[in-house]
Structure 1
Amino acid sequence: MRIARWRHDGRLGEGFVVGDAVVRFPRDLSVADVLAAGLAEVPVLAAEVDSAASVPLADVELLAPLVPASVRDFVAFEEHVEGVTASIDGASHVVDEWYEFPTFYFTNPHSVIATGAEVRPPKTERLDFELEVGAVIGGVAGSDGRDLSPADAAGHIFGYTIFNDWSARDIQGREMKVRLGPAKGKDFATTLGPWIVTADEFAGLVDDEGFLPIVMEVLVNGERIGHDLLSNMGWPFGDLVAYASRDARVVPGDVLGSGTAGNGGCLAELWGRAGELTPPPLTEGDEVVMRVEGIGEIRNVVGPARHVPDILPARPRPRVRERD
């Protein structure tokens, strides 16, 4: 099943995408309600919908398919790390620590945008995209989502969506020199969409190790820049969810990004391999389209940079220890 949120005639709608139409959940349920109920409840809800009340998909404005409880973004593709380190350090290298555990950072759930939305970046000379798939967590009866094994964690995956982690690489590089971040280099926009496809739709494709070999691709202004298989992740999604749950909880509505695909999943990887800014950074008016097999397509156009108030540099302090 496909699950979406949309706006039609000024009203918010939440429900199923069935063929070329959308239909609201029964009982005025929301996507958040359905995620909390868990994947096992989806067939029950689908049987209750009023198909006569469906609306053509072409007549609605798709919104981000959920309001995330949190967004964790992993870095699970070795090839991506190789290319990006070359763009930063001038030499390709994957640190030993990358292989030990699937590393992630928290990004901004309040900056999630939908397919079709204009991206308003900060003032940047190196605007980039990142081609990813996001796993959406759902409820599981009898589990609080804490300290999960990889096998149990895979059962908490409700479905998948396309995930574009927009990045201002010059800002990201500057702030990470302080040994924190990424922060403002990332949190201005993350596209999720066009909908959530429930995990059972992919059951026949998952291999014996839990990897999902579906095709991912990204195009800029109609030119394919990169493509990869999701199964080139260093860990399957069940492992990512399990790691996220260590000494913590994963809860319905959490989104876990796969990290950026290799083979041109972002421009920074290609810059590192080429030793120059080729292809060029994104600029106003560029259209970025991402397609993932079995999920669909998202597209966004880059808009003008936002104008923000200045903040002064740090002021020198006397480091006195007592108040006058």
Structure 2
Amino acid sequence: MRFATYEHRGTVRAGVVSDGGIHPFPRGVTVLDLVRSGSRAAQDAGRTVLGETPVPLDQVRLLPPLDPPTVRDFVAFEEHVEGVVASVSGGSGVPPEWYEAPTFYFTNPYALLGAHDDVPVPPGSRLFDFELEVAAVVGRDGMSLSPEQVEIFGYTILNDWSARDLQRREMKVQLGPAKGKDSATTLGPWLVTADELESCRDSDGLLGLNMRVSVNGTEIGHDRLSNMGWPFEELVAYASRGTWVRAGDVLGSGTCGNGGCLAELWGRRGEQNPPPLRVGDVVEMTVEGIGAIRNTVVPGLDLPPVRPARTRTRSR
């Protein structure tokens, strides 16, 4: 089943997506409510509204499928790490620490955009980039979970837009990407329940879904989701070690390899080819079994430069 959040004639609703359009839930029901009710209850509720008259998809604005309490983003593709290390930090190879445990950071839940929303260039950035990912949505609360205890409610596409010039500076301080990842994250087009994709699992529990990204109609990268270093259940379990994950939390896979972002290709080729994203560029991502998102890059805010830090001149 596919759950969506959408805007139609100035009203935001949740609904179930079918070939005929989006069948609305009663006003006030959100996709986050449905996730927190549990997979079985959510799908039962979805079946009850399939008899409602659908709203055609071409008449709605698709919003992020849900309003998550938190968004974590992992870096679970070895090939991506290898290329980006060269591009962002000037290093080479994959750090041995990457193999020890799945690494993640918290990103901005207030900066989520819908499947076809315009994406402004972050203030001050001239090296704007996309990142092709899949995100899992946690299905129930838990703490210090084993992978077997993890429940995934469903999956959606995630584009972790990145200001690489801001990121390069921030990573030298060794506190994570911060503002380099803070401006926009696309989620969409909808939330596909986990049962829809169970048949795609391989013997390692990974989902063998094709992933593709293009800019202005030219394919830039493609990979398979099964090239992740860990299944989503292990990512959630790691995130829950010594703390809580909640139903509705979003966990990104990290960017796939083989051109899942421009920075990976820059690191491998030693030049900015393809070039950074420009105003007017259209980035489209498709993931087998989930759908497609398509965003246009637009001008961002023109803000004054950031003031440098004061030097330490005062004695103790």
Query: What's 1:48 paired with?
Result: 48
Deviates most, 225-234 or 171-180: 171-180
Matches within 5 A, 1:264-303: 264-303=259-298
The one-letter code sitting in structure 2 at the alignment partner of 1:98 is W
For residues 58 and 89 of structure 2, what CA distance do their matches in structure 1 show? 46
For residues 198 and 118 of structure 1, what CA distance do their matches in structure 2 show? 26
Select which of 142, 160, 164 maps to 1:165: 160
Query: What's 1:135 paired with?
Result: 136
SS in 2 for 1:16: strand
Select which of 186, 192, 195 maps to 2:187: 192
The question of 1:201 aligning with 2:191 is answered: no
For residues 88 and 128 of structure 1, what CA distance do their matches in structure 2 show? 12
| 1:50/1:74 CA distance change after superposition, 3 Å | closer
For residues 85 and 99 of structure 2, what CA distance do their matches in structure 1 show? 15
Q: Is the 8 A contact 2:88 2:167 kept in 1?
A: no
Q: 1:91: Cα distance to partner? A: 4.7
For residues 305 and 44 of structure 1, what CA distance do their matches in structure 2 show? 42
The question of 1:80 aligning with 2:80 is answered: yes
Q: Is the 8 A contact 1:214 1:230 kept in 2?
A: yes
Provide the aligned length of Structure 1 versus Structure 2.
315
The question of 1:150 aligning with 2:147 is answered: yes
The one-letter code sitting in structure 1 at the alignment partner of 2:73 is D
Q: 1:86: Cα distance to partner? A: 1.8
Matches within 5 A, 1:174-253: 174-253=169-248
Q: Is the 8 A contact 2:24 2:52 kept in 1?
A: no
The one-letter code sitting in structure 2 at the alignment partner of 1:208 is S
Alignment TM-score, normalising by the size of structure 1:
0.94
The one-letter code sitting in structure 2 at the alignment partner of 1:146 is M
For residues 187 and 101 of structure 2, what CA distance do their matches in structure 1 show? 25
The one-letter code sitting in structure 2 at the alignment partner of 1:152 is Q
The one-letter code sitting in structure 2 at the alignment partner of 1:22 is I
For residues 230 and 211 of structure 1, what CA distance do their matches in structure 2 show? 7
For residues 85 and 50 of structure 1, what CA distance do their matches in structure 2 show? 47
Deviates most, 91-100 or 193-202: 91-100
Q: 1:124: Cα distance to partner? A: 1.5
SS in 1 for 2:87: helix
For residues 76 and 133 of structure 1, what CA distance do their matches in structure 2 show? 11
SS in 1 for 2:33: helix
For residues 295 and 256 of structure 1, what CA distance do their matches in structure 2 show? 16
For residues 131 and 50 of structure 1, what CA distance do their matches in structure 2 show? 31
Deviates most, 46-55 or 171-180: 46-55
Query: What's 2:3 paired with?
Result: 3
For residues 315 and 185 of structure 2, what CA distance do their matches in structure 1 show? 43
SS in 2 for 1:277: coil
Identity %: 58
Q: 1:181: Cα distance to partner? A: 2.2
SS in 2 for 1:85: helix
| 1:208/1:310 CA distance change after superposition, 3 Å | same
The one-letter code sitting in structure 1 at the alignment partner of 2:166 is I
For residues 30 and 4 of structure 1, what CA distance do their matches in structure 2 show? 9
For residues 306 and 263 of structure 2, what CA distance do their matches in structure 1 show? 28
For residues 311 and 219 of structure 1, what CA distance do their matches in structure 2 show? 33
Query: What's 1:107 paired with?
Result: 107
C-alpha RMSD of the superposition: 1.4
- Following superposition, which runs of at least 4 residues in structure 1 exceed 3 angstroms of deviation? 88-91, 317-321
* Unmatched tracts of structure 2, length 5 or more: none
For residues 237 and 50 of structure 1, what CA distance do their matches in structure 2 show? 30
* Unmatched tracts of structure 1, length 5 or more: none
For residues 258 and 50 of structure 1, what CA distance do their matches in structure 2 show? 31
For residues 147 and 232 of structure 1, what CA distance do their matches in structure 2 show? 25
| 1:26/1:275 CA distance change after superposition, 3 Å | same
The one-letter code sitting in structure 2 at the alignment partner of 1:136 is V
Q: Is the 8 A contact 2:65 2:187 kept in 1?
A: yes
Query: What's 2:125 paired with?
Result: 124
